[in-house]
Amino acid sequence: MAILAALECMYECFPHITLPQYLIALEVRKAERDGTPHTLASLVKKLRMPFSTASRVVWSLTEEGGSIGVIRYQSHPTDRRKKQLVVNQKNLPNEVPQAVTRAMLEYYGETVRQLRRSQG
């Protein structure tokens, strides 16, 4: 349910996004949220796709490479030769995480409410 809600929302915000673009955007977001942002090389290894394909798709997701602009390159904190891939928050519509949250609440609603009550 959450995946479908996110896909639907991404389609509404970016009607011309492709499945590879969506897959890469999700993986970049996940890695960044886990505290280990991808480099292009680590993304290629994780998704097992050709370097040239990943490079082209990542570029299409940047402001410089297209109209989507949800990914940006950021300097690596310890290796100045590398760049990390991170979510460009200013271009990421708030509707995407909200749609996922809404779908999760609808699908797992009672369980989520019980967890909230037990934590509060």
- Residue 83's pLDDT is what? 95
* pLDDT one digit per residue (tens) for the chain, 120 residues: 666 776 777 777 777 888 898 889 889 988 998 999 999 999 999 999 999 999 999 999 998 998 788 899 999 999 999 999 998 887 766 666 666 666 667 766 677 677 777 776
- Residue 112's pLDDT is what? 64
- Residue 8's pLDDT is what? 74
pTM, rounded to two decimals: 0.71
- Does the domain spanning 2-119 belong to CATH 3.40.50.2300? no
* DSSP H/E element including 13: helix 2-13
Q: What contacts 86, CB < 8 A, 6 or more positions away?
A: 28, 32, 37, 71, 72, 73, 74
- Residue 97's pLDDT is what? 62
Q: Could you state, in order of their start, the residue ranges of all structural domains in the chain? A: 2-119
- Residue 43's pLDDT is what? 96
Q: Is 87 helix (H, G, I), strand (E, B) or coil?
A: strand
